[in-house]
Structure 1
């Protein structure tokens, strides 16, 4: 299982629009630079958080917990003998 192209492309475009497009549309005022900085940092942090969560699902650290009889049934259906330890 690997990364699908569409979700990575979609969310990169979405957060790119927030981080690049929204600062362009900020109103003139004394806090314009602060608002731009907040928008760019928000977009970068949200995109990075999403990317880490998405990539963590590709190789999870914790797998499903299977009961002994389920493992034996899977072994029989795959023609693998389960060795008792």
Structure 2
């Protein structure tokens, strides 16, 4: 005989919480700031993989050093080229305003 005061076994079992389904891809919004970083991450990962794997693939010989040096020189040697107005604006924005040089302070007047 079953005890009438004992709770039913079915009453003790509560359904397990279901994980919430992921929203459809059309509902996922990426913040605008993060959208600009995606191409940078992809390009960095691609070139990083090439720069690490390519020197390992090239057999030991006269060209191994050449490949390594060539890969390391892929960026321009002179860096970005900016107009004077751009440099002055950047200096102003970081709090270091450029001071105009007087005629006597130019490099061409050195003796």
Give the structure with the higher percent helix.
1
Tell me which of the two structures has the higher relative contact order, counting C-alpha pairs closer than 8 angstroms and 6 or more residues apart: 1
Could you state the TM-score of these two structures normalised by the residue count of structure 1? 0.45
TM-score (norm 2): 0.37
